[in-house]
């Protein structure tokens, strides 16, 4: 099964409209798709309609920003009821601080001689409620400060570098319960990206499970083959369902295209099998 259950559209920090992401997924051979915009479900109806219209099965999705042990951790939610009011309110609250954070980021960049970053980033924003570091990264490439968005995330916008502004996102408890209470499954996104110590990572997985989290991304754009093997072991150890998603943002920026990931390692329980009843099946 070519399932791609992690990607972004213009509703968050992707560059393609939800309909265009659906078409690209279909063209690339994806058989089950979820659009997982950051802290936002406004694109869900469009994504689902577009998918079903082209014969692509669909699961609802989102990617919630969480602060755990002082670090930003992402939790993907899959298969929830997109009309759930608590989930919508929780996501709205999570998005809430982005505007003032963006102004602070712009002030920080001005201190190193980069002016007009807020206005510059805004030109790349598709959803005024969701200005993100990715939009600043695109501006920093456009103005010539960096050659690529990858370079931006080495030289700017990350801890210890110009333009970084610490932020408090949702709690792990809230994010997991919003998803689970809306009938979905919460999944730890791209765990290799957090650079936790083994003790911190153990705490994340243990607490996540205790709070009702049920899945982990094993195969994802940011994971090497060694990372996938490592988190396959973690999935077995913690009895978690395994997910697979490219984290595609843009044809120009993303290293891994929609549907272009290796399969899940053998012997894991795929998250989509546990979500069978929640899949919007294409005809
Ligand atoms: P934000 O939610 O505003 O903090 O922005 C986070 C987004 O920035 C992520 O979802 C990625 O799209 C992007 N991002 C963060 N770190 C990197 C990185 N090292 N390389 C490329 N994109 C990154
Ligand atoms: Mn992103
Ligand atoms: Mn993420
Ligand atoms: Mn993502």
Look at residue 131 and tell me if it is in a domain. yes
If one residue of 131, 132, 159 were mutated to test the ligand 1 pocket, choosing by the most ligand atoms within 8 A of its CB, it would be: 132
Q: In this predicted model, what pLDDT tens digit does every residue of 22-65 receive, in sequence order?
A: 999 999 999 999 999 999 999 999 999 999 999 999 999 999 99
Residues 41 and 80 in one domain: yes
CATH number at residue 26: 3.20.20.140
Residues 267 and 127 in one domain: no
Q: In this predicted model, what pLDDT tens digit does every residue of 158-217 receive, in sequence order?
A: 999 999 999 999 999 999 999 999 999 999 999 999 999 999 999 999 999 999 999 999
Residues 55 and 108 in one domain: no
Does the beta carbon of 149 sit less than 6 angstroms from any atom of ligand 1? yes
Does the beta carbon of 254 sit less than 6 angstroms from any atom of ligand 1? no
Look at residue 271 and tell me if it is in a domain. yes
Q: pLDDT at position 218, please?
A: 98
Residues 112 and 89 in one domain: no
Domain range for 67 is 3-94+168-278
Residue ending a domain, among 155, 180, 201, is: 155
**283 pLDDT higher than 90:** no
Q: In this predicted model, what pLDDT tens digit does every residue of 266-282 receive, in sequence order?
A: 999 999 999 999 999 99
Look at residue 50 and tell me if it is in a domain. yes
| CA 113 – CA 131 distance, rounded (Å) | 21
Does the beta carbon of 94 sit less than 6 angstroms from any atom of ligand 1? no
If one residue of 138, 153, 163 were mutated to test the ligand 1 pocket, choosing by the most ligand atoms within 8 A of its CB, it would be: 153
Which is the closest atom of ligand 1 to the Cα of 74? 10
CB-based burial of residue 248 (10 Å sphere; 0-12 exposed, 13-18 middle, 19+ buried)? buried
Q: Hunting for tokens 């014969």 — which residue is that?
A: 55
| CA 179 – CA 196 distance, rounded (Å) | 24
CB-based burial of residue 166 (10 Å sphere; 0-12 exposed, 13-18 middle, 19+ buried)? exposed
- State which residues have CB under 5 angstroms from ligand 4, the bound ion: 63, 247
């Amino acid at each position: 099964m070519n399932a791609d259950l992690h990607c972004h559209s213009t509703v968050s920090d992707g560059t393609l409209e939800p309909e265009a992401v659906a078409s690209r997924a279909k063209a690339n051979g994806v058989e089950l798709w979820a659009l997982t915009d950051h802290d936002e479900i406004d694109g869900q109806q469009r994504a689902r309609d577009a998918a079903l219209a082209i014969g692509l099965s669909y699961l609802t999705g989102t990617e919630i920003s969480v602060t755990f042990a002082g670090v930003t951790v992402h939790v993907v939610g899959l298969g929830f009821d997109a009309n759930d009011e608590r989930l919508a309110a929780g996501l709205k609250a999570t998005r809430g601080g982005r505007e003032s954070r963006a102004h602070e980021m712009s002030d920080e960049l001005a201190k190193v001689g980069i002016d007009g970053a807020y206005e510059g980033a805004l030109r790349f924003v598709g959803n005024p409620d969701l200005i993100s570091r990715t939009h600043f990264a695109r501006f920093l490439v456009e103005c010539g400060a960096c050659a690529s968005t990858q370079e931006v995330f080495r030289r700017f916008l990350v801890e210890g570098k110009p333009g970084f502004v610490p932020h408090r996102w949702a709690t792990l408890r809230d994010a997991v319960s919003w998803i689970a209470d809306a009938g979905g499954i919460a999944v730890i996104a791209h765990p290799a990206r957090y650079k936790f110590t083994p003790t911190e990572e153990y705490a994340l997985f243990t607490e996540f499970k205790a709070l009702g989290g049920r899945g982990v991304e094993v195969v994802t754009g940011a994971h090497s083959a060694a990372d996938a093997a490592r988190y396959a072991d973690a999935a077995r150890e913690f009895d978690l369902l395994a997910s697979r998603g490219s984290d595609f943002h843009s044809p120009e920026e993303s290293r891994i295209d929609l549907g272009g990931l290796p399969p899940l390692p053998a012997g894991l329980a795929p998250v989509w099998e546990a979500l069978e009843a929640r899949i919007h099946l294409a005809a």
